[in-house]
Structure 1
Amino acid sequence: MKTSRSWLMVALIISFCACSVNTKVTNSWRKANATANCYKNIFITAMSSNIPVKQAVETGLEQHLEQKGLAVEKSMDVFPPNFSTQTGQKREYVVSKIQATGADGILTIALLKQETESRFVPGGGYWNPGLRFSYYNRFWNYYSNWNPYLSAPGYYDNRQIYYLETNLYDARTEELIWAAQSETYDPANINDFLKGYIKSIYQQMVKDGLITPQAGT
Structure 2
Amino acid sequence: MKKILIALICVFFASCGSNTTIVSSWRDPNATLSKEQFKKVMVVALVKNESTRRATENRIASINPNVLISSYNYLNQQNLNLSQEEKLKILQNENFDGVITMRFIRADKETDYVPGTANYYGGMAYPGMGYGYVGGYGMGYGAGFGGWYGAYAPAYYTPGYYQENTYYYIETNIFDLKNNKLVWSATTKSLDVSDVNTTVDEIMEACVQQMRADGYMAPKEKK
TM-score by length of 2: 0.69
Residues 1:157 and 2:163 are matched in the alignment: yes
User: Larger Cα Rg: Structure 1 or Structure 2?
Assistant: 2
User: Structure 2 vs 1, CA of residues 154 and 23 (structure 1 numbering), >3 Å: closer, same or farther?
Assistant: closer
Residues 1:71 and 2:72 are matched in the alignment: no
> Distance in 2 between the 1:211 and 1:34 partners?
10
Identity of aligned residues (%): 25
Deviation digits for residues 68-105 of structure 1, max 9, x if unmatched? xx612221111225864xxx421121111122221111
Q: How does 1:1-217 map to 2 (within 5 A)?
A: 20-37=17-34, 38=36, 39-64=38-63, 66=64, 71-80=67-76, 84=80, 88-119=81-112, 121=114, 125-126=117-118, 133-134=125-126, 136-138=128-130, 139-140=145-146, 143-144=149-150, 148=154, 157-212=163-218
- Contact kept, 8 Å, 1:41 with 1:103, in 2: the verdict is yes
- Contact kept, 8 Å, 1:28 with 1:179, in 2: the verdict is yes
How far off is 1:160 after superposition?
2.5
CA RMSD of the aligned region, Å?
3.5
- Contact kept, 8 Å, 2:106 with 2:168, in 1: the verdict is yes
* Structure 1 equivalent of residue 11 of structure 2: none
Deviation digits for residues 168-203 of structure 1, max 9, x if unmatched? 112133211111111112234112112211211122
User: Structure 2 vs 1, CA of residues 109 and 125 (structure 1 numbering), >3 Å: closer, same or farther?
Assistant: closer
How far off is 1:33 after superposition?
2.5
User: Structure 2 vs 1, CA of residues 216 and 71 (structure 1 numbering), >3 Å: closer, same or farther?
Assistant: farther
> Distance in 2 between the 1:71 and 1:142 partners?
68
User: Where does structure 2 lack aligned partners over 5 or more consecutive residues?
Assistant: 1-14, 131-144
* Structure 2 equivalent of residue 4 of structure 1: none
User: Where does structure 1 lack aligned partners over 5 or more consecutive residues?
Assistant: 1-17
Matched letter for residue 58 of structure 2: T
> Distance in 2 between the 1:49 and 1:73 partners?
19
SS at match of 1:192: helix
Deviation digits for residues 100-124 of structure 1, max 9, x if unmatched? 22111111111111123344557x6
- Contact kept, 8 Å, 1:19 with 1:188, in 2: the verdict is no
- Contact kept, 8 Å, 1:135 with 1:141, in 2: the verdict is no
Asked which structure has the greater RCO (Cα within 8 Å, sep 6+), the reply is 1
SS at match of 2:33: coil
User: Structure 2 vs 1, CA of residues 209 and 154 (structure 1 numbering), >3 Å: closer, same or farther?
Assistant: closer
User: Structure 2 vs 1, CA of residues 77 and 156 (structure 1 numbering), >3 Å: closer, same or farther?
Assistant: same
SS at match of 2:87: helix
> Distance in 2 between the 1:140 and 1:125 partners?
23
